[in-house]
Amino acid sequence: MTEMVYGSIPQRDGEPVLPRWWRTIDRWSLAAVFVLFGIGLLLGLAASPPLAQKNNLTDFYYVQRQTFFGSLALITMVLMSLMDPQKVRRLGVLGFIAAFVALMLLPVFGTDFGKGATRWFSLGFASVQPSEFLKPAFVITAAWLMAAAHDVGGPPGRLYSFMLVSVIVVLLALQPDFGQASLILFSWGVMYFVGGAPMILLLILAGGIVAFGTVAYNNSEHFARRIDGFLNPDIDPTTQIGYATNAIREGGFFGVGVGEGTVKWSLPDAHTDFIIAVAAEEYGLILVMIILGLYATITVRALWRLMRERDPFIRLAGTGLACAFGVQAFINMGVAVRLLPAKGMTLPFVSYGGSSVIASGIALGALLAFTRTRPQGEIGDLLVRRGR
């Protein structure tokens, strides 16, 4: 019956798992992820030694850790991309429950590592940031709820997803972590829009965001300080933004040369939040444009493939993951060039960070699983038949 309605393309009987995976996966996006990780290691070799020396560690301590966590992330990504969407959905919901509980326990057991925001659990040998894992898990869970609302007699999934995102945003704002809160809210808004939300509700949501921002500005010194610094036309050259802006300016088109940059000695977060400044200074605009092109390739190709997807859950979850991935990269680079206020957000697969790179591997693994070519006709075929 499914084949009669949807015009499925027969699957190759007896085809081994790996050949079928290679035939159906988006190989361009897969290659782009590996190239991004390679660029991240290259930049880590330049950006992390100053911090390692400052902390009395071996020069390539952070590069070695990034290699380990990044390799684990890539393996996780490939394994998840081998799964069918139903398994990804089940893992996503279970992961959301675990990450949500961890987020609620942060005020009791979490630490701020002296950064003024309680976002991590310290395990001694490493730290875990629950919000990083919450992002992909929430997108998958919210997409499942929204898709269920389309079923006859289904639950009010949109309302449930709105209640979840509201609680999560409040919990993140209390840390405070307005960057992750904004990204999760954006992802939910994109899925809500793609799922057919009335425009009036989106306008009400936009008004609520403005009101929330106003309250946060008036009641959070952390939030107000970053907004004031962004709006100030004069850049203090001794701040992180000042160092990053100067490094990007000095790099020009071709950079000052490999290992010749100086910003890594001034920025404490040169290997994480401001790694694009190291890329711009030492390798110039050329490498920055390559990085931009890689992120655009992954995001645009995912959205293009999802346009032909019929399953509402896959379409919603894939769109949310793709937009979250692309927007996180945009925010990180936008902060470095002062297009956006400072948010403390990593550059996926490029910045140093165990939680960040593993969570990115989970998100891209799920996205690659959702965008694999499946035995079905395109959605346009169904629309054409319905119009006859």
Q: Measured between alpha carbons, how far is 237 from 170 in angstroms, rounded to an integer?
A: 34
The pLDDT, as a whole number, for residue 338 is: 79
27 pLDDT more than 90: yes
Cα–Cα dist 135/169, whole Å:
11
How far is it, in rounded angstroms, from Cα 324 to Cα 362?
A: 13
Residue 330 pLDDT > 70, yes or no? yes
Share of the chain above pLDDT 90, in %: 44
Lowest mean pLDDT among 21-25, 101-105, 234-238, 264-268: 234-238
Outline where the chain has alpha helix (H). 2-6, 17-24, 27-47, 49-54, 61-81, 85-109, 130-148, 157-173, 178-194, 199-219, 221-231, 240-251, 275-306, 312-336, 354-370, 379-387
Q: What is the pLDDT of residue 255?
A: 87
Cα angle 366, 367, 371 (rounded to 5 degrees) comes to 120
Query: Residue ranges of the domains in the chain?
Result: 17-387
Q: What is the DSSP letter of 265?
A: G
The better pLDDT of the pair 247, 226 is held by 247
Residue 232's pLDDT is 64
Phi, psi of 295 (to 5 degrees): -65, -40
pLDDT digits (tens, 9 = 90+) for 84-123: 999 999 999 999 999 999 999 998 888 877 676 788 888 8
Of 42-56, 257-271, 283-297, least confident by mean pLDDT is 257-271
Distance CA 208, CA 186 (A): 13
* CB atoms inside a 10 Å sphere around CB 244: 29
Q: What is the mean pLDDT of residues 142-169?
A: 89
The pLDDT of residue 104 is 92
CB contact at 8 A, 175 and 106: yes
Tens digits of residue pLDDT in 180-231? 888 999 999 999 988 877 777 777 777 877 777 777 777 767 667 667 666 6
> Is the per-residue pLDDT at 134 higher than 70?
yes
CB neighbourhood size of 31 (10 A) = 13
Residue 199: how many other CB atoms lie within 10 Å: 8
d(CA 378, CA 307): 9
Q: Retrieve residue 290's tokens.
A: 């390559």
The DSSP line for 191-218 is HHHHTT--HHHHHHHHHHHHHHHHHHHH
